[in-house]
């Protein structure tokens, strides 16, 4: 469970970084940022 949650959190972070690099709207960032934080918090 721990490894899959860390992988999910890293995936959210990568999606967040790619969307920032491509200068998309912040709609995706409002979903991926809290998801990354809460997933990391739950995993640790």
- What pLDDT tens digit does each residue of the chain (44 aa) get? 889 999 999 998 898 888 888 876 667 778 888 888 898 888 87
Q: In this structure, what token pair is assigned to residue 44?
A: 């640790």
| Domain spans in the chain, listed from the N-terminal domain onward | 2-43
- Quick one: DSSP state of residue 22? T
d(CA 38, CA 35) in angstroms, rounded, equals: 5
CB 39 within 8 A of CB 5: yes
Contacts (Cβ under 8 Å, ≥6 apart) of 40? 5, 6, 9
- Quick one: DSSP state of residue 3? H
pTM for the whole thing?
Answer: 0.73
């Amino acid at each position: 469970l721990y490894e899959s949650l860390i992988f999910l959190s890293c995936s959210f972070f990568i999606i967040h970084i790619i969307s920032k690099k491509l200068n998309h709207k912040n709609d995706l960032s409002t979903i991926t940022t809290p998801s990354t934080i809460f997933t990391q918090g739950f995993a640790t």
